[in-house]
Amino acid sequence: MVKNKELSRRVWKDNKIPEGFRQNTMHKFLVKICEEVGPREAGSAAEHKAAEIVKDEFTKYCDDVTKEEFKLAPRAFLSFTIFSPLLFLIGLPFFWIYPIISAITAILAMFIFYMQFLRYAEFVDFFYPKETSVNVIGEINPRDDWKQTLMFSAHLDSAYQFNFNLYMPRTFNYFLVGLPILLVIYILLSLAFFISSWVFNVPGTIFSYFGIGVAIITVPMTSLLFFFKTKWTVMGANDNLSGIAIMQGIAESLTLNKDLVPKNTKILFCAFGSEEAGLRGAKRWVKGHKDELKKKPFYFLNFDGVAKSDDLHVINKEVTLGVQYDPEIVEKVIQAAENIGIPLESRVLPFGATDGSAIVQGGFSKGASLEAMDIEKPEVKRWYHTIGDTADKVESEALDKVRRISLEFINLIDKK
């Protein structure tokens, strides 16, 4: 029997190019990384190997290319899948012994989830070993005076498999909403039980029965978190070699046609490491370059998950981190698409976050993220962050559309 870990290294679904599948240079570059590197855990040798391939490619087209290494604890980001259920289960017996303890452990469990997954903070990272990750930055100078900067970005690393996506795509969202609600009910019960019985000496029989009922539902749901993800990463052709490939396509286009190089706008291509470990690469880069980026107007367009040519959209808000992109820039991306005859709508990202969020949180809101998949659809969720994220999921036409939109976006920004 073939294990999922082995399947995660498949370049194509059936290990061959599907009949009739059309490839352009961007898609071929995507496949090159899939074939020569494979899955790319944040901070791993594979991620560094992919960075070297991207650096070599950028060198063909850019005036300057640099690599910047940084430290992080890559396995800490999703550690709430261990800490949160463990704390809840440790505190559960105390519900009937001394319920304030069960309330405290449950609150701590939810707080770790909030800090690690809803704030992307490094709250418990000190428990985990540090690794070295890397960002690769290419620069193309303007033809005349440098007056502003436009950055294109995507990430190098790939995700651990989200088992919930693969095995329960239709119920995943209900789980994400239902479990926190149950935990809040459990915390309120624990506090009410403690106040009534230990403060006012009121018999708490009714609370004991309620506690049993909540525990019967909550224990199995909480325990499922232990199996939320794997310890190995997936191929990540869509997420996010698609974005890396688009940057290759833009850089190649600017080199082959010098008239497309902007007069007053420096172009940056940032291949960030460790996005799947909590946007760490983008966060480190913004923090390290904040002062120099403030010297001139700075704009950006981030790519993440560009797979389907008929589902292309620009993200105006990322709900998880509460990030709002500049409406003027979002509209300018839509205008760029309209100028070349490509319909483009604006949407909210309901779950997760992209490197664009890290850029905005770092103090630079004049940007947006482009995506071409709908993770709300169960059929998409089944291959998003799973072994199904192979090269055949990414359509060459989707890459080409975003490349063309980006070139027109450069033109619009340069005219500002």
At 53, which CATH number?
3.40.630.10
Statement to judge: residues 280 and 151 lie in one domain: yes
Statement to judge: residues 337 and 303 lie in one domain: yes
Q: What is the pLDDT of residue 2?
A: 67
Amino acid letter, residue 244: I
Which residue reads 């490197």 in tokens? 355
Statement to judge: residues 339 and 268 lie in one domain: yes
Q: Which of 1-10, 281-290, 339-348 has the least mean pLDDT?
A: 1-10
pLDDT band of 204, cuts 50, 70, 90: confident
Statement to judge: residues 352 and 370 lie in one domain: yes
d(CA 253, CA 290): 29
Please check the confidence at residue 39 and state whether its pLDDT lies above 60.
yes
Among the candidates 208, 227, 246, a domain finishes at 227
Statement to judge: residues 50 and 114 lie in one domain: no
The pLDDT tens digits for 120-143 are: 999 999 999 999 999 999 999 999
How many domains are contained in the chain? 2
Among the candidates 227, 243, 275, a domain finishes at 227
Please check the confidence at residue 197 and state whether its pLDDT lies above 90.
no
Statement to judge: residues 139 and 217 lie in one domain: no
Please check the confidence at residue 250 and state whether its pLDDT lies above 80.
yes
Domain that holds residue 206: 80-121+168-227
pTM value?
Answer: 0.96
Among the candidates 207, 227, 247, a domain finishes at 227
Statement to judge: residues 109 and 241 lie in one domain: no
Statement to judge: residues 195 and 267 lie in one domain: no
Statement to judge: residues 270 and 410 lie in one domain: yes
Statement to judge: residues 222 and 238 lie in one domain: no
Statement to judge: residues 348 and 318 lie in one domain: yes
Statement to judge: residues 141 and 48 lie in one domain: yes
